[in-house]
Chain A
Amino acid sequence: MKHSFSKSLLAISLLVAGFVWLQGCKPKGTQSAVSGDAAAKAYVAPGKYDEFYNFVSGGFSGQMSVYGLPSGRLFRVIPVFSVDPEKGWGYSEETKPMLNTSHGFVPWDDLHHIALSVTKSEHDGRWAFGNANNTPRIARIDLKTFRTAEIIEIPNSAGNHSSPFITENSEYVVAGTRFSVPIGDKLDVPINTYKENFKGTVSFIGVDKTSGEMNIAFQILTPGINFDLARAGKGKSAGWFFFSCYNSEKANTLLEVNASQKDKDFIMAVNWKKAEEYAKAGKGVKKQVRYAHNKYDEKTHSATSTIVNEVLVLDPKDCPDMVYFMPCPKSPHGCDTDPTGEYIVGSGKLAAVIPVFSFTKIQDAIAKKNYDGEYDGIPVLKYEAVLHGEVSKPGLGPLHTEFDANGNAYTSFFVSSEIVKWSIKDLKVLDRVPTYYSIGHLCVPGGPTSKPHGKYVIAYNKITKDRYLPTGPELTQSAQLYDISGDKMKLILDFPTIGEPHYAEAIPASLIMPKSQKIYKLEENKNPYAALGDNNAKVERKGNEVHVYMTSIRSHFTPDNIEGVKLGDVVYFHVTNLEQDWDVPHGFAVKGANNAELLIMPGETQTLAWKPEKAGVYPMYCTDFCSALHQEMQGYIRVSPAGSNVPLTFSTGTNVPAATTPAAAEKPATK
């Protein structure tokens, strides 16, 4: 009896021990991923500045966000493709034309990638470009003002994903279409005639050296494949552009399966210098299209939208030696050129290796016509002939690669959720760190340039799960910062982002901070509706339009009492912020405004259109806490019935009851 008792005790202890041991086998918590000095490395003391600006795509928010590194602090969300009622972007009369397209006003989009302007393949801190993935467009953001200065629509494109990558001296940003579509006169075709009727394009958008203004220089017509990402060459390969492509199967349905059949898809190599020559030599055909070109004028504080009807298209059939295909395993996503320009790294989303191509070998193969047949009449280079080598067993689902200045590459792996560091020269894996979770793009400061700044790699993740306090089913988006200054990559910070972050670039603060504009100068304000001084404030009627030339200065509007508006009128509040002091914006809001409010920077003029629906007295006020008497910065506008004979009057400080100051009542300020 005693014997059997001790036996069962032993059995239970073994069971418990076994259970504990099995528990130990489960993956460790993520807490262990952070080492002791991580906090100090990401800490930027209050009042101190970050070392880098991080320009991060806002994905389906349609905007571009700006963070500091290494702190991960969010500084600004720049409204680009989506309306932003808080700032009046897309609502004010001045900014509405910015979101005009050939499809009319499009109030949203999906911004995936960032390209910062470069000179000699190095960051110059002038402009940031962003793509609209849905209604194909490219935006240029001026880094003096951190505002969207220009948006150009891309014709003959459907899903501008392979964009806006940039050439070594910002000569061109590119726009490769994600979807191939019917192009030309016959647009209404059965979808299953994809193989005959669908075509792709890549567009080269010229960027003016001084003004930055964009124009579509030429488009290259391509077989009906899908373009994913792209990268320009650098140094010796600077005259070339590389585009990753998938769906060489030309499937038009269930691409998940049907576009994953072939062992290899392509990286398309374009000799853009040659394409430029062909365009100049008149080899292109001018096609009738419709696209919008929107520009924001810094002096008039207003945008204009122009519809353009023509684009120059180059067909590789008529332009030999311009386009080549290089086989690349399994639906490549990233195709990234290293800082020297010699190596091009392809990242097949479903591939088990990372192929690295050599620019020298590509040139060699082209010279020797070392082809592996043709694809729709375009020569396909032999895989082995252009390959520098493959990184074997790097991880699962390679997506995108960036570089440091020491010959190392950092590749993100979506499926195995990690960053892998490897050496370009001998293709050996050096280190790997997990990401939380499922990284998409990554970013090394200066990583796509010829002079990477290194120091950090940032992971932009697709899944956040348990990393932060939960906020219901919809969680924050997230990024993670890793220190790469040593041999081993070290996680030092998680930071939430707006959604969803795709590609991002980081640039030293010193290249941007000194140029950052503080105010708009009143003497340079050429807005036709600006009131430059309280004395110039006025109200004018033009038919059923009432134009209020309003000024705002701490802490009053002029005028702040307006009467004589009638139902059926549209009131245009043209508000000029008279402040010339740093960080003193004024807001403007009127009750029942069914579009938005305004946020007006010092020296700026913005216009809100308002159509009252009922007679009465409506309050208006400043929405940006501007001063100690911000709460007093308010006024009234009276709306009378359509047939009423209330005269149009306006004033500030004088509209008082007749009994107390009979003389001053209703300052006679009518037109």
Chain B
Amino acid sequence: MNNKLSVTSRILVAFASGALIAAFFLPVWRIDLFAPQYPEGLMMNIWINGLSGDVEIINGLNHYIGMKHISVDMFPEFKFLPYVVGFFMLLGMLVAVTGNRKFLLFYLILTAIGGALAMYDFYQWGYDYGHNLDPSAAIQVPGLSYQPPLFGHKRLLNFDAYSFPDVGGWVVIGAAALAFGVWFAEWYRQRKKITK
């Protein structure tokens, strides 16, 4: 049984891991907030190493409900995330260079775990921000929390909150999908060979 990836597959894996470089130059996630007073919307962009957009304005509004002040230095993730992405790029390149099929499978499993961990972490932060509120906040609605949606839409008081990947995030998702696609194609090719 041939344990090597095809040349096409190896190029595609190299391309996918190379594409991760986008995460260094483009925001990976975005949260949009719309309210009657903000028809133009407020936006927060999440990068692998920081935040941008209307963070200060959002903080100004959050203080009414006692949410913590969002600032970059509160998130240790921003310190090590660039290394994690760098590691995945390097690993992907190694998969392409070696062309080892098992190595690719290992890489994909690691990607899946990484992705799940990232979402769990994001959820944790959202939960923390949405629930741990200042007890002396001006606006207090019993039983209401302000956890932003993990993915999609949620209504928070007068705000419609939307949480979706940003451009960089879509590139990462596309790259992962490509790598998975390569593995499925290889698996299909291999199965055919075996059945022959």
Contacts and interface: CB of A to CB of B under 8 A. Distances in A.
Interface string B55-73: 0110010001000000000
A629 B64 contact: yes
A580 B57 contact: yes
Interface string A608-648: 00000000000000000001110010000000000000000
A626 to B, nearest CB: 11
A555 B138 CA distance: 10
Given A628-B139, A629-B138, A581 B64 contact: no
A629 B137 CA distance: 12
Interface string B92-116: 0000000000000000000000000
With a 10 A CB-CB cut-off, give which of B60, B64, B138 has the most chain A CB atoms. Answer: B60
Interface string B122-161: 0000000000000000110000000000000000000000
A479 interface: no
Interface string A547-559: 0000001110000
A404 interface: no
B138 A554 contact: no
Contacts of A628: 64, 138-139
Given A628-B64, A629-B64, A580 B139 contact: no
A288 to B, nearest CB: 54
Interface residues of A, number: 11
Nearest to B63: A554
Nearest to A653: B136
Interface residues of B, number: 8
A336 interface: no
Nearest to A553: B60
B32 to A, nearest CB: 16
A169 B64 CA distance: 52
Contacts of B60: 553-554, 579, 581
A324 to B, nearest CB: 56
A581 B41 CA distance: 12
Nearest to B54: A581
Contacts of B64: 554, 627-629
A579 B58 CA distance: 11
A629 B57 CA distance: 16
Nearest to B60: A554
Contacts of A581: 54, 57, 60
Given A628-B64, A629-B64, A580 B56 contact: yes
Interface string B36-67: 00001000000000000010110010001000
Contacts of B139: 628
A582 B57 CA distance: 10
Interface string A63-103: 00000000000000000000000000000000000000000
Nearest to B58: A581
With a 10 A CB-CB cut-off, give which of B40, B54, B56, B139 has the most chain A CB atoms. Answer: B56
Interface string A570-595: 00000000011110000000000000
A627 B35 CA distance: 14
Nearest to A632: B138
Interface in B145-187: none
A576 to B, nearest CB: 15
A570 to B, nearest CB: 33
Nearest to A628: B64
A218 B64 CA distance: 59
Interface in A302-350: none
Contacts of A553: 60
A293 B79 CA distance: 54
Interface in A527-578: 553-555
A405 B64 CA distance: 56
A541 B175 CA distance: 63
Contacts of B56: 580
A628 B61 CA distance: 10
Contacts of B138: 555, 628-629, 632
Contacts of B57: 580-581
B144 to A, nearest CB: 16
Given A581-B54, A581-B60, A582-B40, 5 more contacts: A554-B60, A554-B64, A580-B56, A627-B64, A632-B138
Smallest CB-CB A-B distances: 9 pairs: A581-B57, A629-B138, A554-B60, A580-B56, A553-B60, A580-B57, A628-B64, A581-B60, A579-B60
17 contacts: A553-B60, A554-B60, A554-B64, A555-B138, A579-B60, A580-B56, A580-B57, A581-B54, A581-B57, A581-B60, A582-B40, A627-B64, A628-B64, A628-B138, A628-B139, A629-B64, A632-B138
